[in-house]
Structure 1
Amino acid sequence: MAVTCSPKGLRVPKALLLANVGTPDAPEVAAVRKYLREFLSDPAIIQAPGPVRWMLVNLLLAPFRARPSARKYQQIWLPGGAPLLVHGRNFSVALQAELGADWVVALALRYGEPSFRNALAALVAGGQISDFVLAPLFPQAAPATSGSAAQHFFQTLEKLGWSGPARVLPSFPTAAGFIEPLAAIAALGARDFQPDHWLFSFHGLPEAQQNNPGCHYREECLATATALASQLNLAAGVWSVSFQSRLGPVKWLGPYTAQILHELPARGVRRLAVVAPSFVADCLETLEELAIRGRKTFLAAGGVDFRCVPCLNARPAWVKGFAGIVRAAAGLFPNMLRNPTRQPIALARPT
């Protein structure tokens, strides 16, 4: 039996599903291996024929990457669990309080728990909902992040029998509600540091995906970096952009963060501040790849001091800023139902 939206005239909340990538259940080899298998089996992550992808994931990548990845997670694990999940839960609770009774907020991970299926099933079973809205927590949209989350969102709702409105919030690379609180954290972190240079390190993307029609990931990253530099009043030449977290032998967007960290001291940079604007919550990529390994790389190359700016996590200014982003997009929903085309506003369910 299909599950429909509530009758007209009744004031019922919208369901807002906050989506992030994911994390293993524990910093242990078996849990990490399970997570890697789910994550890397997504065709949006490894674009290869199914049998080839299965062999790569199950015979090579997951078995051989699980142990070193588990050691990395062990360095950053919090008493309450993975940082991404701890911060995500805190953000979800704070955002629910900020948005009030018009919304029901839930958190889901594309890979791992809480899963899309479990989170959406609980919302469907919990009572009347007027709309389902997916909020990918990725400031810049890419096929492997926002694209995969949106596809999984619509597929899961269909399997659950939902026939009412379902939409996806757009990316927000230059939204004031994102840029202003991030710049404030960066400025506060640099107040007693005075860096020679600022590096904005974004999550990488294979060039083949960047070249897909409709993908504007690199452009959105550069727009974010430019907006941040403007908000921080940075002069040209004291900031730059790089891309991190490469996977596999294919060519990814560059310049690569690890290479830039090695080269900057030779260019005269002694004190470096790093911001990771692709991530709204601290995770393995920020806490281990940048703050631990990145620091070692920079100092070993001759740098003197290194500071990795924390992510937004659940800071009050970010909660208020994102609530504003949600409310602004929600005001455009009726138009989007009549015109579900790609616009810099909310996307409706594909028809």
Structure 2
Amino acid sequence: MNARTVGALLGMAALLVTGLSTGVRVYYLLFGVLASMLLIALVSTVWALATLKVSISTDVNRATRGDRMGLVFTVRHLSFMPVAYIGIEMDVPSQVTGTHEVTVRAAALKRRTFRQVLLCPHRGVYQIGLRRASAEDVFGLIRLSKRMKSSNAILEVALRDRKADAMALGNVDDGPMYFSRSTEDTASPSDVRAWQNGDSLKKVHWKLSMRRRQVLVRTYEESARPDTLILPDLSPIPALRDQQLTLEDEICESALSIARAQLEAGYPVRMPLTCSVPMELSAHFMADFAPFGDALMRVPFDSATPYEQVLMMMTPRLQRTGGAVLITARLTTRVADMALKLRQSGVRVRLVWISEDVRDQSLSMLERLKMDGVEVQVRNLREG
């Protein structure tokens, strides 16, 4: 009920009272006209909604964040009485509400097809479908709506592919835990082979050589290349809805781009995702990279464990780690202390800070980390 409906009802009441008081037929005539308008408005909207059929589809099933997609929907109703418009509310990727409403004009018994271009601003898996439909009569007196049931189309919005610099992981020998991280055991050879020119005498297996009457040399398994431990901060971000989703997108895209760069450089990658349902991704070659994009597209930011505690839990796993990448939208002194502690253990550390508000106090903290050997990258969203 809107202002027009209220005005029409008040007018009908006034005309009826006046007609009964004076007995003049013109007041009854005007009352009948208004009553007929209300009846036509009610019947037309109810009939249109009762017979309304809407189908919806998308041009693609998968898009990249920031792309535009085409939305095609078909409208038809069987009401012979005219209606002003049909309103359709749909579930779509959106920055704030997650819904999109359009109004169309559809004549009775005619199937009309409409096309909308929508932006995919954030990563995730969305169900594109109808939520509600509404109809308004030509007089603007009555507007009714109802929930719509329809088959939903699934749209996957993947992360953007950005370029990132790989972090070189050599033989780390500048930390106090270097000797405990050494993986070569000279007392445990893996096999023996025949002597070759240039071999060291220390590697000769004298007992076996005397037994077989030929010079045999101990061989050792080559230690695996140091891997990269990527730790994105999956704690809930206290911010406005659009800002929160943007920060989540940037964290996931940074993690994905660094994982790609490390794999292309030949370094294995491990990425624990400490959300409400923890999981871990690992890859040694680029052929194993696809699950990273799919998991980061779907992962929720609902970790119940603070990021500082997550870093503490990962400390025992640094035995075979050559580098650690910390990605967070909240730079605190505890996060900085953990980054410094990891660096002092002999691990190369890169701290990626994503923020919309880069303050002087935070910059001074980052400068101190740089002086202690931590690689720092700042992603300022206001600068693009």
Question: Shared fold (TM-score greater than 0.5)?
Answer: no
Name the larger-Rg structure.
2
* Higher RCO (CA 8 Å, separation ≥ 6 residues): 1
Q: Structure 1 or 2: larger strand share? A: 2
TM-score after normalising by structure 1 = 0.31
